[in-house]
Structure 1
Amino acid sequence: MKNLTGCGLMLILLWTACKPGTQKTLPIYGNRQPVTKMINGKSVTDTLYQTVSKFKTVNQYGDSISNKSLDGNIYIADFFFATCPSICPIMHRNMLSVYNAFKSSGNIKIISYTIDPKHDSVPILKKYADKLGVSGNTWWFLQGKKDEIYKLSESYLVRKPEEDAKQQFIHDGSFLLVDKQKRIRGAYDGTDPKQVEQMIEDIKELQTEPDQVIAQ
């Protein structure tokens, strides 16, 4: 096991807007492409942003969780494994501050994908969550097919997990902030408490964006 060489090294920031005197707008990460469509007989060009890929998993309660389960939610994602001796315990101790800040908000989820599904069964994930003091449905620990989870990491723009020659897992330590449109809006070093504090503030900012606000 060895730590990340950096947080989000593969991230490509292609758009950002923050004007003096106006509400802060978080960047949108990843590729973008123009899309032309007809609206009321007129040709209109819009922008299609990169989004997180579809996935199918189960959580620590044995419930089926897919990308559809996150519809209408802002969420934070990370990759880990339960027997990780180095960065994962630090990351998830830091994530507890996020969990405690938003567990009653109703529109914030946290999802942690295991990269060692062979070992990290549903009971193991439940035990892991219990040890952290996590309950309810704000924070899900997810198990899926190994190849699919490794592939999924690419749509989060982080380093693809791998096993070294000693079959020890190497993975990215980033926390990824994702909006309701499944677009990545932030990347933070999960081992750095200051960056996690910044993520909490950015989540609050994101909640105020017009297309992220819960309809009353």
Structure 2
Amino acid sequence: MKIKYIPVIAVTLLIISACQSTNSTETLPILGSREPVEKEVDGEIDTDTLYHSIPEFSFLNQDSTIITGETFANSIYVADFFFTSCPSICPIMHRNMLKVYEKYKGNQEVMFLSHSIDTKYDTPSVLKDYAEKLGVSGQQWQFASGTRESIYGISPSYMVFAEENEAAPGGFEHQGWFLLIDKDKHIRGAYNGTEEAEVEQLMSDMDILLKEYEK
């Protein structure tokens, strides 16, 4: 699976920054764009920072229930993009994601969101069967289906590349990133879901992020 396009380069650089920041401060950075916002406070101009965040969304999950950003309002979550008939990286990704799921299973502050990019075949019932075969039950790990516009429209917000490509295995081309999202919908880390070492780093960073909410 190819890794391409400028957003990926940006993510790679930010991952390096994230690792350095984690080691030195035990606080994860906020990835993505940011811009200063001026506001008046007690007659004085104060400058705040507006960080990149995941926009509002609406999908159907594996139980044919609508899920939105509110579904994840009180949780950090790990997001990825896949399709159930994927013959290449998806099985590896979700074997690794299952390890993360098992570690945090039952933790109400941790959720998972897998977006299917096969918007024709991966209906809620197909996603339900897929989840059950993985050994996933309940609402902690959501498998999302939607229209082509909604799924492909939100992938750039996660800084992930995905597209239909007849030449690619299974007819789709996508990246294997796991994205760590905080309770404010900011991206706090990006990890190659096919690499065990990076999945271990993800779990370590999740522990760090959860500690932020203990303060």
TM-score when normalising by structure 2: 0.89
Q: Which residue of 2 aligns with 1:173?
A: 176
Unaligned runs of 5+ in 2: none
Match of residue 109 from structure 2: 107
Per-residue CA shift, 1:100-152, capped at 9, x if unaligned?
11112111110000000210011100000000000011101100111221121
Give deviations 1:52-73, integer Å, cap 9, x for gaps.
1221101111111012211121
Distance 1:27 1:19 in 2: 8
Q: Which residue of 2 aligns with 1:182?
A: 185
- Match for residue 160 of structure 1? 162
Amino acid at match of 1:111: L
User: Structure 1 stretches of 5 or more lacking a match?
Assistant: none
The alpha-carbon distance between structure 1 residues 70 and 81, as it changes in their structure 2 partners (threshold 3 A), is same
Q: Per the alignment, in what secondary structure is the counterpart of residue 29 of structure 2?
A: strand
| CA–CA separation in structure 2 for the residues paired with 1:67 and 1:162 | 26
Quote the Cα distance in structure 2 between the aligned partners of 1:160 and 1:127.
23
Q: What residue is the counterpart of 2:206 in the other structure?
A: 203
Match among 16, 27, 36 for residue 38 of structure 2: 36
Structure 1 residues 173 and 208: CA distance shift in structure 2, 3 A: same
- Distance of 1:59 and 1:151 partners within structure 2: 17
- Paired residues, number: 209
SS in 2 for 1:198: helix
SS in 2 for 1:52: coil
The 10-residue stretch of structure 1 (122-131 or 33-42) with the greater mean CA deviation from structure 2: 33-42
Deviations 1:20-64 (A, max 9, x none): 8x7411121111000111223332111000111221101111111
Residues 13 and 23 of structure 1, relative CA distance in 2, 3 Å threshold: closer
Q: 1:86 deviation in Å?
A: 1.0
In 2, Cα distance between equivalents of 1:162 and 1:28 = 30
**Could you say which residue in structure 2 is the equivalent of 1:150?**
152
User: Which of 78, 94, 97 pairs up with 1:95?
Assistant: 97
Deviations 1:67-114 (A, max 9, x none): 221112101000000000110000000001110111121111100000
Q: d(CA) in 1 for partners of 2:128 and 2:2?
A: 26
Question: Which residue of the partner structure matches residue 136 of structure 2?
Answer: 134
Fraction of identical pairs, as percent: 44
How much does 1:160 deviate? 3.3
Contact conserved, 1:173 with 1:190, CA < 8 A, in 2?
yes
